[in-house]
Amino acid sequence: MLADRIEAKWIDAFCEIFERCAVKAGDTAAILSETQSRALNVHLAELALLRMGARPFHVVMPTPRNRNIVPVRSTGASEAIQKLGPVITALQQAGFVVDCTVEGLMHAVETPEILKAGARILVISNEHPEALERMVPDPALEKRVRAAAKMLRGTKRMRVTSKAGTALDVDMVGASTVGVWGWTDKPGTLAHWPGGIVVSFPKSGTINGTLVMAPGDINLTFKRYLTSPVTMTLKDDYVVELEGEGTDAAMMRAYLAAWGDREAYAVSHVGFGMNPGARYEALSMYDQRDTNGTEIRAVSGNFLFSTGANEFAGRYTAGHFDLPMMGTTIELDGVAVVREGVLQDVFG
């Protein structure tokens, strides 16, 4: 197995993203990790913060046992903190938290309490730093993502169609929308790196229709490009049928059923990628342990459909699929923001 060494260029990349997060000399910064975190990224975070004159400290948690009967991947809901009060307090008081946990704090149960205290969290996705260095801060991307999030927040209906047969209808009234461009500089906020994504968490009973994944679409939980079609029928947010003749459909059916949890079949969020620097083929360039697929989620023009937990609809589950789909058309109140997989020039 190849052993990676620290590279100056990677420290540079971490410094660039921390500068965007308004880290200044003398600032306190907590580096949160767990025993199974990617050690290289933890070290790079420390070295970058020290180079900038910040005052970092480490909080390292034992990676908890997986109590599920199936492997858990890419949930964005780290269980590393285990609700330990002293850990939560330390992160609240740090001001800036560099999150290097395996799954990340995006949907962790402790995150709202940490953010409410005014801390800002940068989730460094569990990627090899070679992928992170390509996803450099882009002020133009921030502007476009902000515009897209504003448009989604004012949208009443999302319509997703494709030549493969997708015809999905989403009632967006009251949906909670998040735009992530790769960094955060405001107290009480969270972002993840890489960025370039806008997603909405619809309310309960708002999603109906048919979703067809075509060969070449991606199941990021399995880190796999599909080789055969998968057709999902959705009724009031839930996948009620999952059809397909190939391995892709069989694996998805087995994984969903293994949870023994109806909520694993429900929709988590819907959105689209906006980062022109994110590469569709990147998933094929890294070993599975070296990628979390965040770059794929951000590929410009993909429709990002996810099943699993949606706290805004009152649904909680550890089962989760992130399913970027290419070639769709996404309309917001009749305005096409993505047409046949191509992001339209409507966000400036």
Instruction: Work out the average pLDDT over 28-51.
Output: 97
Residues 118 and 189: their CA atoms lie apart, in Å, by: 8
Task: Let me know whether 156 and 246 are in one domain.
Answer: yes
Instruction: Work out the average pLDDT over 62-86.
Output: 87
DSSP string for residues in 276-295 = TT--GGGGGGS-GGG---HH
Alpha helix (H) ranges present in the chain?
8-20, 39-51, 85-94, 111-116, 129-134, 139-153, 247-258, 294-297
Task: Let me know whether 258 and 173 are in one domain.
Answer: yes
Identify the pLDDT of residue 318: 82
Residue 229 has pLDDT above 90, yes or no: yes
Task: Let me know whether 144 and 73 are in one domain.
Answer: no
Task: Let me know whether 227 and 145 are in one domain.
Answer: yes
pLDDT digits (tens, 9 = 90+) for 237-249: 999 999 999 999 9
3-class secondary structure, 262: helix
Task: Let me know whether 220 and 111 are in one domain.
Answer: no
Residues 48 and 27: their CA atoms lie apart, in Å, by: 13
Instruction: Tally the residues of the chain.
Output: 348
Picking from 94, 124, 154, the residue at the C-terminal end of a domain is 124
Instruction: Work out the average pLDDT over 38-52.
Output: 97
Identify the pLDDT of residue 2: 58
pLDDT digits (tens, 9 = 90+) for 282-338: 999 998 888 989 999 999 999 999 999 888 888 888 888 999 999 999 999 999 999
Q: Examine residue 129 and state whether it is found in any structural domain, yes or no.
A: no
Going by the DSSP 8-state scheme, the letter that residue 37 receives in this structure is S
Residues 129 and 134: their CA atoms lie apart, in Å, by: 9
Structural element, H or E, at residue 52: none
**What is the span of the domain harbouring residue 110?**
8-124
- State the Cα angle at 332 between 344 and 341, rounded to 5°: 40
Residues 230 and 297: their CA atoms lie apart, in Å, by: 19
Residue 1 has pLDDT above 80, yes or no: no
Residue 5 has pLDDT above 70, yes or no: yes
Identify the pLDDT of residue 31: 98
Q: Who wins on pLDDT, 320 or 151?
A: 151
Task: Let me know whether 283 and 171 are in one domain.
Answer: yes
In the chain, % of residues over pLDDT 70: 99
Residues 328 and 338: their CA atoms lie apart, in Å, by: 7
Q: Examine residue 348 and state whether it is found in any structural domain, yes or no.
A: no
Number of domains in the chain: 2
Task: Let me know whether 13 and 146 are in one domain.
Answer: no
Identify the pLDDT of residue 74: 74
